[in-house]
Chains A and B, each alone.
Chain A
Amino acid sequence: MGARGTEPATADATPVVVLTGVNKHFGTLHVLNDINLAVGKGEVVVVLGPSGSGKSTLCRAVNRLETIDSGTIAIDGVPLPEEGKALAHLRADVGMVFQSFNLFAHKTVLDNVTLGPIKVRGLTPPEAEKKATDLLDRVGVADQAGKYPAQLSGGQQQRVAIARALAMDPKLMLFDEPTSALDPEMINEVLDVMVALAGAGMTMIVVTHEMGFARKAADRVVFMAAGQIVEENSPEEFFTHPQTDRAKDFLSKILTH
């Protein structure tokens, strides 16, 4: 039973992100093949699929860290700008959490979280520090505020990265395999933060291999293979009654051990 119910939220009510006919090639590899996807406000979409299926590229395309060859991606009805200030402005509204954390290595934990609010949102340093302290407290690393990223465990670093993204008050959070680089005993501390975030109504696109998270927090599972969306369903339906052979094959491989 999903924490937020098994009913998929209606994506077309107030879609935050709409991808229409998105295509991308890496050389001869068709990494995104005619992707159509809408994510509603407050919806949590988990993207699953074998490696190389294009799920990370999809996630990165939403804030244009990857360009696309054709199709459109719109956030709150506004198509992604090509470059420049407009794009930076849009990215500020889209939080991104990376597989390898990517905390600013030369800045303390607190400075990592305050940089965006001060330089992009125009908060004063005391305001930004207050906000950062609250967020670090929320993700459980407030006592590490003065340390540098290299002094923290992977799980702590990833929670700081989530706080850094939240400090921008994003409309949408993207998670690109947030637990794949973590030691097993640190995965749960990050997933707990993400589950709490989902429970608080954040709109999320999560690329992950964590089936437990998908069952617990997702409104919808999107299964990708070879650059295409092969199947979309509620987590319960997807895990218990996968429709396509590709999804059955994938689930048999990851659920049997």
Chain B
Amino acid sequence: MSGISTLLREYDVLGAFWVTIQLTLWGALGALLLGTVVAVCRVSPVGVLQRAGTWFVTLVRNTPLTLIVALCALGVSNTLKISLAPPDSPTFIVDNGFRWGVVALAVYHASFVAEALRSGINTVPTGQAEAARSIGLGFGATLRHVVLPQAFRGAIAPLGNTLIALTKNTTVVATVGVAEAAYLMRNMIEFNPSLLYFIFIVMAAGFVVLTLPVGLLFTWLSNRLAVRR
């Protein structure tokens, strides 16, 4: 028992999960914004945008997240020297790594958000957009005021799935040194191999605590916000 309490005193488990939560929230926000733009491109009447949207989804969705994270951290940040934090900042390494991690998570999950949203758009009857156009709303206003609000409500369940996947996929960012939960777990196991199973259980429980409420919330939301026709 003393080993366990020493372990929890030595390692900041809550702090590591806080980084995981931050990665999740910023990544989800970025994925939602980028994914919405991509979905709008895919349903737009402009051929170039449609093709660009399709290309983005096909390329990103079929690339392993590890590769995207490595590309951001090693390729873009280390080699091309494009950093997302002021280089003279004392927390440069931590901030830059975290921010590129968020970018990688956002870009990767944007492809899934875009597809969830596109299926949501398909649940909105054509007549809704026709009615919007017939009162003089243009393409953008029709999407913003009529189609997308209903599409989001129709896409809540798959968007929840994507958020849960994103929460767990934050562990991949540990590979480039962002000190989130999985990174901490690796260190803990390395120096306390005798407590291997305990560490596993703590980490697994942490992720269950994060994702279970999200799943329940999104199930509730998808019933609550369903558009009655």
Contact = CB atoms under 8 A, between A and B. Distances in A.
Interface of A: 63, 65, 83-85, 88-96, 98, 100, 102-106, 115-116, 119-120, 148, 150-151, 161, 164-165, 167-168
B150 interface: yes
B134 A63 contact: yes
Contacts of A165: 134-135
A40 B162 CA distance: 56
B58 interface: no
A91 B227 contact: no
Interface of B: 45, 125, 127-128, 130-138, 141, 145-146, 149-150, 153, 227-229
B134 A103 contact: no
Contact of A105 (B130, B134, B138, B229): B229
A167 B141 CA distance: 18
Contact of A104 (B45, B132, B136, B141): B132
A148 B128 CA distance: 14
Contact of A102 (B130, B137, B149): B130
12 contacts: A63-B134, A85-B138, A91-B135, A96-B130, A100-B127, A103-B131, A105-B128, A105-B229, A106-B227, A115-B146, A120-B141, A151-B228
Contacts of A168: 135-136
Contacts of A100: 125, 127
Nearest to B150: A106
Contact of B136 (A84, A92, A161): A92
Given A105-B229, A150-B228, A89 B136 contact: yes
Contacts of B228: 105, 148, 150-151
Contacts of A96: 130-131, 134
B136 A116 contact: yes
A100 B45 CA distance: 25
B127 A150 contact: no
B134 A106 contact: no
A104 to B, nearest CB: 6
Nearest to A118: B145
A94 B133 CA distance: 11
A95 B136 CA distance: 9
Given A115-B145, A148-B228, A150-B228, A104 B133 contact: no
A150 B130 contact: no
Given A91-B134, A102-B128, 9 more contacts: A63-B134, A65-B133, A91-B135, A100-B127, A106-B153, A106-B227, A116-B136, A120-B141, A150-B229
Contacts of A148: 228
A125 to B, nearest CB: 14
Contact of B135 (A84, A85, A164): A164
